[in-house]
């Protein structure tokens, strides 16, 4: 491990590879680069300390460089022990960022690195999963008066923040970036859809065509995963607890049933619920030998790995990010140790997807500074115009033009008198 006061990373020797990867990612992040150009001129984040707990990937590096272009000073750690791209962390350290994280870090190091970011006394926090906000509220409330606000990237983080708000525990404004249409309708759906399949294939290299893939949860992520799995020829079964979402899955053409019934039918199981123990030991005992279980939800609690480890006769690593457990004489394979499989076993979402999510983060940070002291200590969403601005920039980057309303159409849409 290479460490100095300003960084703790795997190997500084990887910096050159990381720089190439960041350069490559930025080529596909035109919308974010457009925002960076504006930031370079206007410096909306001048002198602001931003503390970040995000997956340390090449795309996050593009965000971090955008925030710096806006004048911010930055410290970053990972939001997941398995998701850091070590070459990217090295490149960021070489570029003078405070960066703390390595792939496969221990739980102790995970919290030590969060603490490093907290010691930086951030005025804005950017989180993916709410661990940074939660640590500040629980253990460092003395920092809160200096904090302008924070931004949250994912569904699970927003759910935790809403629970804090309900308990009157939330002490500074939090922008739910996840709730931008340009975030969850693109990142969770197209991003998780593609990258989850990518992670499972890199870990296992199985043929998906003809297999039965069970997707637990038919939210934005689950819908994307089901769509991509079926696009590759898999037969998809969906499990849900929400009747509307279950109905939607059925109308989209998938079989819907309880996990108890699906367990014996599936070859591959993917959880994307944000919930705990969605796949239990008894489900795994009922699976076919050779079944693969994977998770794409935020925390590694969706598959009951603890009970699996306790009950398995043996356990061995078959190949990177694929572990085999022998349970009642049958094999159960766990991909990516039950952590976000797209980040553990692959590289997370494609850069083009993260460009949109991170436009949201960059503009949310600017919004917080512009509205310093005026926002409620609640979970807030960005004004619609900002979300729309991101779509417009992205369409421009894609070279797509669209129609605009004529005066007659505007009048028609705003009147109630005209009917049949
Ligand atoms: N892998 C990634 O890169 C990535 C990207 C975005 C979000 N996420 C995470 O993925 C998870 C899902 O996100 P989302 O935006 O789809 O959330 P969502 O709330 O839109 O969907 C979750 C769905 O799971 C269902 N569900 C809950 N408990 C269940 C159970 N026991 N069995 C079956 N279904 C159940 C809910 O009814 C809901 O429809 C979250 O943890 C989120 O943070 C991961």
Asked whether the CA dihedral 24, 84, 162, 132 is positive or negative, the reply is: negative
Q: Which residues of 323-358 are buried (b: 16+ CB within 10 A; e: fewer)?
A: bbbebeeebbbbbbbbbbbbbbbbbbbbbbbbbbbb
What are 54-105's pLDDT values in tens digits?
999 999 999 999 999 999 999 999 999 999 999 999 999 999 999 999 999 9
In whole angstroms, how far apart are CA 321 and each of 40, 58, 252, 334, 389? Answer: 40, 20, 32, 8, 39
pLDDT tens digits along 369-406: 999 999 999 999 999 999 999 999 999 999 999 999 99
Alpha helices in 131-191 (DSSP H): 131-139, 155-166, 181-183
Q: 2-181+348-397 and 184-344: same fold? A: yes
The answer to whether the beta carbons of residues 377 and 170 sit under 8 Å apart is: yes
Total Cβ atoms within 10 A of residue 128: 27
- How far, in Å, is the centroid of ligand 1 from the Cα of 218? 7
Average pLDDT, the chain: 97
**Domain boundaries in the chain?**
2-181+348-397, 184-344
**Gap from CA of 217 to ligand 1 centroid (Å):** 6
**184-344, what's its fold?**
Rossmann fold (3.40.50)
Q: What is the pLDDT of residues 270-292, one digit of tens each?
A: 999 999 999 999 999 999 999 99
**Confidence tier at 5 by pLDDT (50, 70, 90):** confident
Domain 2-181+348-397 part of CATH 1.10.10.2160: no
Under 8 Å between Cβ of 213 and 234? yes
Q: Using one digit for the tens of pLDDT, what is the confidence trace for 177-214?
A: 999 999 999 999 999 999 999 999 999 999 999 999 99
Q: State the helix-helix crossing angle for 30-42 and 58-69, rounded to 10 degrees.
A: 20
Kind plus residue range of the DSSP H or E element containing 316: strand 314-319
Pocket residue to mutate for ligand 1, from 219, 220, 222, 345, most atoms within 8 A of Cβ: 219
What is d(CA 182, CA 185) in angstroms, rounded to the nearest whole number?
6
Q: Structure tokens of 77?
A: 């750690």
Closest C-alpha residue for ligand 1 atom 21: 219
Sheet hosting strand 235-239, strand order edge to edge: 255-256, 235-239, 212-216, 268-271, 291-295, 330-335, 322-327, 314-319
Contact 209/386 with Cβ under 8 angstroms?
Answer: no
Close Cβ partners of 196 (under 8 Å, ≥ 6 residues apart): 221, 224, 225, 228, 270, 272, 294, 296, 341, 342
């Amino acid at each position: 491990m290479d460490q100095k006061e300003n960084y703790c990373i795997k190997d500084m020797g990887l910096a050159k590879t990381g720089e190439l990867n960041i350069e490559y990612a930025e080529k596909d992040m035109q919308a974010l680069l457009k925002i960076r150009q504006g930031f370079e001129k206007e410096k909306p984040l001048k002198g602001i300390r931003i503390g970040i707990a995000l997956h340390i990937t090449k795309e996050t590096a593009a965000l971090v460089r955008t925030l710096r272009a806006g004048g911010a000073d930055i410290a970053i750690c990972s939001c997941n022990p398995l998701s850091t791209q070590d070459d990217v962390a090295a490149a960021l350290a070489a570029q003078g960022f405070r960066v703390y994280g390595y792939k496969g870090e221990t739980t102790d190091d995970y919290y030590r690195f969060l603490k490093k970011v907290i010691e930086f006394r951030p005025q804005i926090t950017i989180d993916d999963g709410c661990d940074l906000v939660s640590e500040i509220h629980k253990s460092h409330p003395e920092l809160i008066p200096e904090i302008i606000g924070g931004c949250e990237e994912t569904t699970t983080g927003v759910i935790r923040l809403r629970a804090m708000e309900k308990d009157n525990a939330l002490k500074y404004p939090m922008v739910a970036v996840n709730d931008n249409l340009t975030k969850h309708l693109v990142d969770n759906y197209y991003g998780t859809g593609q990258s989850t399949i990518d992670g499972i294939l890199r870990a296992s290299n199985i043929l998906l065509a003809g297999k039965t893939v069970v997707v637990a949860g038919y939210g934005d992520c689950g819908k994307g995963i089901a769509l991509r799995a079926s696009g590759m020829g898999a037969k998809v079964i969906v499990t849900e607890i929400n009747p509307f979402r279950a109905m939607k899955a059925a109308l989209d053409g998938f079989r819907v049933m309880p996990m108890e019934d699906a367990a014996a039918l599936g070859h591959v199981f993917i959880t994307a619920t944000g919930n705990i123990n969605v796949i239990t030991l008894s489900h795994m005992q009922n699976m076919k030998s050779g079944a693969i279980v994977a998770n794409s939800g935020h925390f590694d609690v969706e598959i009951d790995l603890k009970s699996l480890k306790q009950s398995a006769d043996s356990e061995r690593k078959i190949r990177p990010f694929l572990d085999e457990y022998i349970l009642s004489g049958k094999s159960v394979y766990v991909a990516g140790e039950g952590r976000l499989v797209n980040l553990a076993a692959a590289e997370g979402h494609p850069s083009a997807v993260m460009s949109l999510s991170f436009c949201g983060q960059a503009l949310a940070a600017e919004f917080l500074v512009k509205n310093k002291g005026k926002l409620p200590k609640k979970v807030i969403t960005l004004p619609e115009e900002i979300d729309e601005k991101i779509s417009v920039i992205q369409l421009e980057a894609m070279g797509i033009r669209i129609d605009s309303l004529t005066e007659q159409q505007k009048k028609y849409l705003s009147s109630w008198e005209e009917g049949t």
